[in-house]
């Protein structure tokens, strides 16, 4: 099977590309390397260095005629979306529209979209399900929500199948200390530099941290399941930033000093995804708990166990 992965030089897209190759697919990565790296693209995948907003992307997809397009390329930084909402919308909305047009021209059967729990905003509930209203509180959440709607309506009008996966906070090897949900990578980066992690606010804010291998598995499950569905891809468990630091302390074997800074604008207080619909429809659930995922990430990031 031929697949295209936009954003395949990034953190999640590169893990997904690896898994698709291992499953025997021909993988074409479309990425402008704005936050991704050439070195992340696995050997065996073809890198097309192009912006998802460009006519080049259209030509590439029309030329390779992929059966599935995994659309992960994005402006994925909440704080940047607040600083420059126009650029965020340009990449995440116009870019998605261009990828949708390319899917049509290239005869793709399906698009699988990397959405986010940020579309929900502050729902004010313990667990957020797909039935809850999506009212984003950042421009990033809004641009992703808008892209979802374009995909849904595109599906209705043009018959393009889709699965929208709303990821929790993804972490794992190769994540850089920037972008969305990067707190694990930020903390590991501080530790690598023998510096103290900075906790914004009181550290009791919680997130649904999901290991990158589980997100890859959800994407693979969406190959043949989840037609025209929008599904949460999370663990269903909440982990606070303070708990995260405790897990890192366990890996490190010594206490970790921390610094405190004010809470950040646009940050959601609590975020935990109800994963039951994905379990039923995709027959997928997260296999890694926070302890296992953090340990694997720690070992691959700080191999010398400093
Ligand atoms: P990432 O920044 O590592 O990957 C994004 C990739 O897209 C990069 O390789 C970048 O170079 C590429 N890209 C950006 N703009 C582009 C453009 N205009 N044209 C072509 N390529 C472009 O981020 P990631 O964490 O791997 O995120 C992948 C996807 O998952 C994004 O859509 C993001 O919104 C979504 N997501 C991530 C998380 C998370 O916790 N990391 C959570 C929810 C959703």
What are the residue numbers of the active site?
140
Question: pTM of the predicted model, to two decimals?
Answer: 0.96
Q: Give me ligand 1 centre to Cα 9, in Å.
A: 9
Atom of ligand 1 at shortest range from CA of 71: 32
How far apart, in whole angstroms, are the C-alpha atoms of residue 74 and residue 88? 8
Which of 36, 52, 74 to probe ligand 1 with, by most ligand atoms within 8 A of CB? 74
The pLDDT of residue 306 is: 42
Atom of ligand 1 at shortest range from CA of 169: 40
Parts of the chain belonging to CATH 3.90.25.10: 172-207+237-305
The pLDDT of residue 304 is: 56
- Two tokens at 181? 């949900």
Q: What residue's CA is closest to ligand 1, atom 21?
A: 31
The secondary structure element, H or E, covering residue 161 is strand 161-167
CATH number of 2-170+210-233: 3.30.420.10, 3.40.50.10110, 2.30.42.10, 3.40.50.720? Answer: 3.40.50.720
Which of 6, 8, 12, 117 to probe ligand 1 with, by most ligand atoms within 8 A of CB? 12
Angle at CA of residue 263, ends 235 and 132, nearest 5°: 40
Give the 3-state DSSP-derived string for 258-300, with helices as H, strands as E and coil as C: CEEECCCCCCCCECCECCHHHHHHHCCCCCCCHHHHHHHHHHH
Considering only the C-alpha atoms of the chain, give the largest distance between any 2 of them, rounded to a whole number of Å. Answer: 57
Q: Give me ligand 1 centre to Cα 253, in Å.
A: 33
Of 15, 6, 219, 227, nearest to 97 by C-alpha is: 6
Length of the chain: 306
Q: Mean pLDDT of residues grouped by 10 in the chain (306 residues)?
A: 98 98 98 97 98 98 98 95 97 98 98 96 89 95 98 97 97 84 88 90 93 98 98 96 94 90 79 95 97 94 61
Residues with CB under 6 A from ligand 1: 7, 9-13, 31-36, 51-53, 72-76, 91, 95, 114, 116, 167, 169-170, 179-181
Atom of ligand 1 at shortest range from CA of 73: 7
The pLDDT of residue 264 is: 80
How far apart, in whole angstroms, are the C-alpha atoms of residue 88 and residue 103? 22
How far apart, in whole angstroms, are the C-alpha atoms of residue 210 and residue 207? 9
CATH number listed for the domain at residues 172-207+237-305 = 3.90.25.10
Parts of the chain belonging to CATH 3.40.50.720: 2-170+210-233
Which of 29, 33, 72, 98 to probe ligand 1 with, by most ligand atoms within 8 A of CB? 72
How far apart, in whole angstroms, are the C-alpha atoms of residue 260 and residue 224? 46
Q: Give me ligand 1 centre to Cα 11, in Å.
A: 7
Four-residue CA torsion sign, 156, 115, 295, 15: positive
The pLDDT of residue 266 is: 62
Atom of ligand 1 at shortest range from CA of 13: 26
Q: What residue's CA is closest to ligand 1, atom 34?
A: 76
Q: Give me ligand 1 centre to Cα 10, in Å.
A: 6
Burial of 144 (0-12, 13-18, 19+ CB in 10 A): buried
């Amino acid at each position: 099977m031929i697949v295209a992965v936009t954003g395949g030089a990034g953190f999640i897209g590169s893990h997904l590309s690896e898994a698709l190759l291992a499953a025997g697919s021909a993988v074409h990565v479309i990425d402008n390397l704005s936050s991704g790296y050439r070195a992340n693209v696995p050997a065996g995948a073809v890198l097309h260095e192009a912006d998802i907003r460009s006519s080049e992307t259209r030509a590439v997809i029309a030329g390779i005629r992929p059966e599935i397009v995994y659309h992960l390329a994005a402006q994925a930084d909440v704080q940047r979306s607040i600083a420059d909402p126009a650029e965020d919308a340009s990449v995440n909305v116009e870019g998605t529209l261009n990828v949708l047009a390319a899917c049509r021209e290239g005869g793709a059967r399906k698009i699988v979209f990397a959405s986010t729990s940020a579309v929900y905003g502050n729902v004010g509930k313990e667990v957020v399900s797909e039935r809850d209203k999506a009212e984003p509180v950042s421009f990033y959440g809004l641009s992703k929500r808008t892209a979802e709607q374009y995909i849904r309506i595109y599906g209705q009008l043009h018959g393009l199948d889709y699965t929208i996966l709303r990821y929790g906070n993804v972490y794992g090897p190769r994540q850089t200390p920037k972008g969305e949900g990067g707190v694990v990578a930020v903390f590991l980066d501080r530790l690598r530099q023998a510096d103290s992690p900075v906790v914004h606010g009181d550290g009791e804010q919680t997130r649904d941290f999901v290991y990158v291998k589980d997100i890859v598995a959800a994407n693979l499950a969406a190959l043949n399941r989840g037609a025209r569905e929008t599904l949460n891809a999370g663990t269903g468990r909440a982990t606070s930033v303070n708990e995260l630091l405790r897990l890192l302390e366990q890996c490190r074997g010594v206490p970790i000093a921390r610094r405190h800074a004010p809470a950040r604008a646009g940050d959601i207080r609590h975020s935990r995804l109800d994963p039951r619909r994905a379990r039923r429809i995709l027959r997928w659930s997260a296999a890694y708990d926070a302890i296992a995922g953090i340990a694997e990430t720690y070992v691959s990031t700080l191999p010398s166990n400093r």
